[in-house]
Structure 1
Amino acid sequence: MNGTSLCEVCNEREHTRLCDYATGTGIITSFDFKELTETCDKKLCTTCAVHLWDDCDICPDHAEHIKKKLFRE
């Protein structure tokens, strides 16, 4: 297995997901003004991914960031 397909958290298992945490937005086309949400896209395996809801997984770093915001730690 090459290093490019490994989870960026554990570096042991093959990644099957990308972090969906939104990092920004921007207009991507001038003809229909579609907005694209930029995401973290850190490569994650199913074990390391924090599953929020269907089709939404985030990396442990962003999960901790959300937790701190929610609970003001």
Structure 2
Amino acid sequence: MDDWQQQQAELRQQQEQLLRERERQQQRQEQDRRYRQEIDREERLRSQDVDAHRHTETQWWFSRWRQRWGAGRGSIRSRRQR
């Protein structure tokens, strides 16, 4: 009977240790997931910033081009008729 109780106690200890390890592993996975999400979010924002900058650059270039070359090619009315 004493041996059986000791075996049960050891089994319980093993199970508790396994549970603790599993919880630690889950916490680590959750931290990793959050970290990855944060990095993804930052990269997305950075790429959006780059896209916005590129867009304003092309807009600026096109407006300069229109000022220089777009004018003098006939009036707006004649362009619409084409």
Which structure would you say has the larger RCO, counting Cα contacts within 8 Å and 6 or more residues apart? 1
TM-score range normalised by the length of the shorter chain: under 0.3
Structure of higher CA gyration radius: 2
Q: Which has the higher strand share?
A: 1
TM-score by structure 2 length?
0.20
TM-score by structure 1 length?
0.21
Q: Which has the higher helix share?
A: 2
